[in-house]
Amino acid sequence: MATFSTDALNDALDGLDLAQVSLHSDDPGTDGSNLIAGGGKQAATFNAAASGERALNADVDFTGLGASQAVTHFGVWGTGGTTFMCGAPLTGDQAANAAGEYSLKATTTKVTAAAAA
């Protein structure tokens, strides 16, 4: 198995069109399944790749979820929200608040060469 250099991984990640994020009630798989429709897809900016990963640039706030609704995964979409890129489990808070709001945190949301983390 070939191992890519960090520079190659960064170049590959920077070439991806990462434009929107979504919330999911279970594993989104490879097609964005289990999307929490009430939250929709929100515009997001990811930093340039460094050390083989691209981190979310700023927190992304969602509204319109059910009160205390379970939020177990996030997804990443290309421009227009039609191409699902990747998804991963969330760490930390995994439920909307009583008002149906959820904040996807930049400090823990990133995309790596393997998948989102």
Query: What pLDDT, on the 0 to 100 scale, is given for residue 92?
Result: 86
DSSP 33: -
Distance CA 14, CA 110 (A): 13
Q: What is the pTM of this model?
A: 0.92
> Tens digit of pLDDT for each residue in 30-86?
999 999 999 999 999 999 999 999 999 999 999 999 999 999 999 999 999 999 999
Inter-residue contact 62 to 101 (CB < 8 Å): yes
> Cβ(93)–Cβ(64) under 8 Å?
no
Residues 6+ apart with CB under 8 A from 99: 63, 67
The 3-state DSSP class for residue 83 equals: coil
Instruction: Output the pLDDT for position 112.
Output: 87
In angstroms, the CA 25 to CA 37 distance is: 10
- Specify the pLDDT at position 2: 75
Element (H, E) at 84: strand 84-89
